[in-house]
Chains A and B, each alone.
Chain A
Amino acid sequence: MNLRNGRAIVFDLHSKTSVEQALPEAKDLEAVSATKVADGLIAQHGNDCLVLGTGVLTGSLVPASCCGIVRCGGQRPKTVPLLGFLGTELKMSGFDFVVIKGVAQSPGYLWIRDGVAEFLESKEMSSMDSWARTDKIRADQGDSKIQVVAAGPWGDAGLGSSQLVTNYWGGEDKVGMAAEFGKRGVSAVAFRGMGELELASPEQHFDEALLLIREHIERLGKSRGLASYSEIAARDDFAKLAHRHVACYGCPFPCRTFLKTSEDPGELRLVSKEPGYLHYDLAALEKAFQLGADASTASEVIATCAKAGAEPVAVMSQMERMGKTCTLEEAEEVVGQPAEIPLTGATNFERSFENPREYDECLGLGLCPRYWAKVGYDLEKIASSAGSGLGWSPK
């Protein structure tokens, strides 16, 4: 099966056992959409399942093919994109999908690498914030490149206003998916793999992807990081703290801008271990600026929310209701006492497309919705480039 592993792993948290499941071959982009396949797996294994998965193009040479998803079923199914290197690393771990069943007897993290999955109990992790969980997993497994999607104390408490954090950063989870981790006793899920993907026509896939990238770069011009996607990041105070713009896997027009708040943004050496924050959550920045914070304070407040695994717009809205100012101290006070506060309906990547169907389609393929909405979502061109990798002509 080109560009895919052709298998899912179904992990039962209660018994800590897993079985592999072959995924059917399909030659239709809609049928292999990550969301559709995830829904099929949920229908098969029960509505209480949580599915992490990849699109058919995740990890391909098609530009910005970085995405994975987390999907849960029930009466109101929810989806969260996984950006950065999460989706790609999941696919390289040897599985296209991970189905998580049941509830763990004791909290811990699911560790998936090179065709193996195990649940490692860690009560200690329950008292850690999301950043410390990522650090612990990488230290325990001896690999700094492990990709981690973690809940924090807010997710552990099953709060609807929690957020999943990918490695150290937040912006993907605007639906409280972290609570789904917490309810199951899952503190984090970690991926690492040295897998390789087969391509039907490697040279042709390379050449076609190269043409797409060059066409896109010519059209988009020079990247200004997050400011290329929103004027909210074009403010002077934001620009002054910008250290660099960071791309997800395979993206030629990065939307992530790292602000250094704890050291000189011009410092290139590895000096401070926590020098600042990687911004790509537009909704959080908008709310912080609306409340009068400058870029430095906004970074500190959003980082505090990321560590706690709390959705930052909900937290800042709560601070506003309580008559608090948007400062680090006030934010720490609110996130330090996890409580049910309302989600505001804020969106981040979801707002990339006006048409939600296009958003779902793009994400289902494993492509970054923000990038592809910016460059012009053209399924025909994507299908043409994908075909040389897949070995069939997508419809």
Chain B
Amino acid sequence: MSSSIILHIDDKADYFGLVLKTKSEGLVLGRPEGVSYGQQSSGSGGPGAKPILLREPCDLCGGDPRCVKICPTGCLSLEV
């Protein structure tokens, strides 16, 4: 079981989002003000970005993503 998703977070401002490594669009960064593609912002850069860069792109777990199922606060959903 592996993961293709990490948190993008700025603790002091309590500002956060998610970074997902996709097959088609590379890294997708979801933040409160919208979605961006390709590069990560500085907030997700540095060594902290390694875990997502080294991982497999998301395959949606074959169509029924586990991250959506187990997201503890129900923040994640799948749009087809």
Q: Are B47 and A141 in contact (CB under 8 A)?
A: yes
Nearest to A247 among chain B residues (CB) is: B73
**Interface bits A190-224 vs B (CB < 8 Å: 1, else 0):** 00101000010011001001100100010000010
Known: A143-B47, A206-B1, A251-B72. A273 touches B32 (CB 8 A): no
A217 and B75 alpha carbons, distance in the complex (Å): 14
A144 and B50 alpha carbons, distance in the complex (Å): 12
Known: A144-B10, A276-B14. A252 touches B43 (CB 8 A): no
Name the B residues within 8 Å of A359 (CB-CB): none
Name the A residues within 8 Å of B32 (CB-CB): 268-270
Chain B: interface residue total (CB-CB under 8 A): 26
A61 and B67 alpha carbons, distance in the complex (Å): 11
Report B42 CB to chain A, min CB distance, Å.
9
Known: A206-B1, A206-B66. A168 touches B11 (CB 8 A): yes
A151 and B48 alpha carbons, distance in the complex (Å): 24
Q: Are B69 and A167 in contact (CB under 8 A)?
A: no
**A246 CB–B CB distance under 8 Å:** yes
Q: Are B12 and A250 in contact (CB under 8 A)?
A: no
A131 and B54 alpha carbons, distance in the complex (Å): 31
Q: Are A206 and B46 in contact (CB under 8 A)?
A: no
Q: Are B33 and A275 in contact (CB under 8 A)?
A: no
| A37-84 with Cβ < 8 A to chain B | 61, 63
Q: Are B13 and A275 in contact (CB under 8 A)?
A: yes
Nearest to B11 among chain A residues (CB) is: A167
**B38 CB–A CB distance under 8 Å:** no
Q: Are B12 and A252 in contact (CB under 8 A)?
A: no
- Residue among B33, B48, B72 making CB contact with A145, cutoff 8 Å: B48
Name the A residues within 8 Å of B28 (CB-CB): none
Q: Are B10 and A250 in contact (CB under 8 A)?
A: no
A133 and B46 alpha carbons, distance in the complex (Å): 19
Nearest to A259 among chain B residues (CB) is: B14
Q: Are B46 and A142 in contact (CB under 8 A)?
A: yes
Name the A residues within 8 Å of B70 (CB-CB): 61, 206, 209-210, 213
- Top 6 A-B residue pairs of the complex, sorted by shortest distance between their CB atoms: A268-B32, A252-B72, A258-B14, A145-B48, A142-B46, A143-B48
Q: Give 5 A-B contacts (CB < 8 Å), ordered by A residue.
A: A210-B69, A246-B14, A247-B73, A254-B73, A269-B32
